[in-house]
């Protein structure tokens, strides 16, 4: 079974400790530490605390949510940001962090229509700044044995599969890859369908975030995330099938962007995803066996015809 991590964003109104305790209780394999549970200046402090809690509770925090935000106009700010991020990357192994998930940077010109933001609003200079930064951070991650994922996220310059591929291929580091988030893509009307995004991103996918949503008319942004994984419009069976067929083996991250008590969707979503992963694995195995049976029968028929006496 692939690893499933809980994003502590689920518990954004509560402490990291509560998120880690619930993750352990509900059977998650680890926790992604959301950036709201620390500041850039206190990353190491937060990671030390996560290690302490992990030993006490019995669960690790192998994923750190830490964005680049390296596309702004001020070159000195960009340089300082890259320097600080490189420092954190170099120390990740000391804290058991294997993956850093985040964004290169966001551009917002229209708060009611996410399709007008991010890659649609970006100029050549924004991609050049991101490439310059990650050509420093990528090698740092390679040396540290850490993977950086750029999340396909609304309002970022990598808010679609195509824009993410453009950026990742320009960076050219095996340590800088993609985080496919179908729920985010559903909020960007010009984005690809998540199932179609899988082959576009291909082996660049190193992590996924799963949440569900429905496109609606009663919210200005046109999408409502107050749905559990099994209740929204996105067909996660189809998405997981596409991922499995692409060779993706995890990890999977679960994220709740809705309201109410986060423990309810946190518990329900992992149960649903576990069942889904079992179903997909079984269905893929049966399909493979059926294909082999047909192939074997065809070979058998061919072999038999080769030995028939001529009429």
Note whether residue 63 is domain-resident.
Answer: yes
Note whether residue 13 is domain-resident.
Answer: yes
pLDDT level of residue 305 (50, 70, 90 thresholds): very low
The C-alpha atoms of residue 82 and residue 137 are separated, in whole angstroms, by 7
pTM of the complete model: 0.92
Provide the domain limits for residue 50. 4-306
Contact 230/246 with Cβ under 8 angstroms? no
**In the chain, at which residue ranges do the beta strands (DSSP E only) sit?**
4-7, 30-33, 63-65, 99-102, 147-151, 176-180, 205-210, 212-215, 223-227, 252-254
Note whether residue 16 is domain-resident.
Answer: yes
Number of folded domains that form the chain: 1
Give the torsion sign (CA, 110, 228, 256, 89). negative
Note whether residue 311 is domain-resident.
Answer: no
Cα 263–chain centre separation: 21
Note whether residue 82 is domain-resident.
Answer: yes
- Tell me the per-residue pLDDT of 277-301, one tens digit each, with 9 for 90 and over: 999 999 998 888 877 666 565 555 5
Contact 23/59 with Cβ under 8 angstroms? yes
**CATH number, domain containing residue 282:** 3.20.20.150
- Tell me the per-residue pLDDT of 224-251, one tens digit each, with 9 for 90 and over: 999 999 999 999 999 999 999 999 999 9
- Tell me the per-residue pLDDT of 192-220, one tens digit each, with 9 for 90 and over: 999 999 999 999 999 999 999 999 999 99
């Amino acid at each position: 079974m692939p690893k499933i991590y809980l994003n502590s964003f689920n518990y954004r109104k509560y402490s990291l400790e509560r998120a880690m305790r619930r993750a352990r209780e509900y059977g998650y394999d680890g926790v992604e530490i959301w950036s709201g549970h620390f500041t850039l200046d206190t990353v190491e402090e937060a990671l030390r605390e996560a290690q302490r809690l992990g030993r006490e509770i019995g669960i690790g925090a192998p994923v750190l949510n830490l964005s680049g935000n390296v596309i702004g106009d001020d070159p000195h700010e960009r340089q300082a940001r890259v320097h600080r991020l490189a420092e954190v990357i170099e120390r990740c192994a000391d804290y058991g962090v294997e993956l850093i998930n985040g964004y290169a940077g966001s551009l917002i010109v229209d708060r009611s229509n996410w399709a007008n933001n991010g890659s649609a609003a970006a100029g050549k200079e924004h991609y050049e700044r991101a490439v310059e930064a990650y050509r420093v951070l990528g090698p740092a991650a390679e040396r540290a044995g850490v993977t950086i994922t750029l999340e396909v996220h609304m309002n970022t310059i990598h808010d679609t599969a195509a824009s993410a591929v453009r950026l990742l291929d320009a960076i050219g580091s095996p340590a800088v890859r993609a985080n496919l988030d179908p729920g985010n893509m559903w909020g960007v009307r010009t984005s690809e369908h998540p199932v179609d995004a899988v082959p576009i991103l291909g082996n660049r996918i190193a992590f996924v975030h799963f949440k569900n949503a429905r496109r609606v008319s009663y919210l200005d942004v046109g999408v409502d995330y107050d749905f559990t994984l099994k209740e929204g419009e996105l067909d996660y069976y189809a998405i997981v099938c596409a991922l499995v067929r692409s060779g993706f083996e995890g990890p999977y991250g679960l994220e709740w962007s809705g309201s109410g008590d986060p423990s309810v969707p946190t518990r329900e979503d992992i149960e649903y995803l576990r069942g889904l992963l079992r179903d997909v694995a079984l269905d893929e195995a049966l399909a493979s066996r059926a294909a082999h049976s047909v192939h074997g029968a065809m070979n058998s028929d061919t072999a038999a015809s080769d030995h028939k006496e001529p009429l």
